[in-house]
Amino acid sequence: MIDKARRVLDEVRSLEEEMSLPEVVSDNARFRELGRRRARLSRAAQAARDFLRWSDDHGEWEEATRSSDAEFANEARREVARLDAEKEPLEQALRLALIPKDPADDGSCVVEVRSGTGGDEAALFAGDLVRMYLRYAENVGWKAALVDASEGASGGFKEAVLQMEGVGAFGRLRFENGVHRVQRVPDTESQGRVHTSAATVVVLPETDDEIEIRIDPSELRVDTYRSQGAGGQHVNKTESAVRLTHLPTGVVAACQSERSQIQNRETAMRMLKAKLLDRERSQRRETVDAARRDAVGTGDRSDKIRTYNFPQNRLTDHRIGLTLYRLESVMQGDIGEILDALRLADSLRRLEAQSRT
């Protein structure tokens, strides 16, 4: 571990030296790239410093146990025992920090929620999930917006697209991918029977330092139409909503939340780039990391990942066996504990896989 810690700090020093070169400072693209690499290493560098500081202290006190001064030697042995107890958590922190990080984790993301099996009740549940994510974003200080939506006949959404702008948004929400199942008694159920319905959530990164998405304007079809649903006085009066179709791939993105066609087009373009980025990332990822599959599922959008049982006030995440009995607060956006548990499970499984190599 000492050698690994030193290599991390050597890499950080090398990056900082390169960033100080005049020819790099004047090259904005190169300077930003090096800065991103250094930022990704910051957590590992701090863990490396902590571990090396511990190693130095341990070595000094170990040497002191051989002192001819009996009282000082006894004190040194107590310090060595204390430091021995600190070794494992410091090593664990360093190992976790050394796990390669997805370059998209620090960026913003797009969240798509679609109603699944269950008809009107599924659309209502999709609406509940949309509100849950919007409230969570508000709680953590992200900028969130509902940029496109198709409303259900009895409320909720057949489909909704959210834009989440905030540092680390994709890294926090990425494990929401999959099928969310709800069990509850619908308002229209006269016999009090519990119904089961579902909604699918897809989380797409907006940026990835390693992939650049370029869109040729000649490969775009632009359609405008009147906005549907809540959105202000302009709704259903002007063709301000925009739908973009990327002709080579057939990928579509739309926005109707802004007041002007120009703003809607800009937002739709961001959505389109996020979808094309997700497509490119999926194509590059030929095999799924075994540790991630075991910990939190493949991310396949057909995976049933979580059940929301309203009669029992219970939420269960099936991937990690997490059960909480506070469903009301979860639906109000209190999902931080769940997201933290998923990220930790993913990190620990990847750490386990790393230790076997």
pLDDT averaged over every residue in the chain: 86
Final residue of a structural domain among 66, 98, 130: 98
Residue 311 has pLDDT above 80, yes or no: yes
Q: What percent of the chain has pLDDT over 70?
A: 88
pLDDT at 286 (0 to 100):
56
Q: Report if residue 326 sits inside a domain.
A: yes
pLDDT on residue 71: 93
Q: What is the pLDDT of residues 89-100, one digit of tens each?
A: 998 888 888 877
pLDDT tens by residue, 198-235: 999 999 998 776 678 889 999 999 998 877 654 433 44
Confidence (pLDDT) at 302: 57
Q: How far apart are the first and last CA of the chain?
A: 15
Q: Are residues 332 and 202 in the same domain?
A: yes
Examine the pLDDT at 287 and tell me if it is beyond 60. no
Place of tokens 């990835």: 208
* Opening angle at CA 18, ends 13 and 22, nearest 5: 140
The structure tokens listed for 267 are: 């937002």
320: domain range?
109-208+307-355
Looking at residue 144, which CATH number applies to its domain?
A: 3.30.70.1660
3-state secondary structure of 30: helix
Number of domains in the chain: 3
Pair (176, 314) in one structural domain: yes
What would the mean pLDDT of 49-65 be, rounded to a whole number? 94
Buried b / exposed e along 118-129 (16+ C-beta atoms within 10 A): bebbbbbbbbbb
* Pairing, β 251-255 against β 314-317: unpaired
Pair (313, 188) in one structural domain: yes
Does residue 200 contact residue 178 with C-beta atoms inside 8 Å?
yes
| Cα torsion 203, 207, 208, 210: sign | positive
Q: CB under 8 Å to 123, separation ≥6 — which residues?
A: 115, 151, 152, 153, 154, 155, 156, 157, 158
Q: Which long-range contacts (CB under 8 A, 24 or more apart) does 56-61 make?
A: 57/83, 58/83, 58/84, 58/87
Q: What is the DSSP pairing of strand 195-205 with strand 322-324?
A: unpaired
Longest Cα pair distance anywhere in the chain, in angstroms? 92
pLDDT above 90 coverage of the chain, percent: 56
Tokens 């109603």: give the residue: 115
C-alpha Rg value of the chain to the nearest Å: 25
- Of 312, 295, 35, nearest in space to 174 by CA: 295
pLDDT of residue 230: 45
Residue 302 lies in a domain: no
What pTM does this model have? 0.71
Query: Do 190 and 238 share a structural domain?
Result: no
On the question of pLDDT at 241 being above 50, the answer is yes
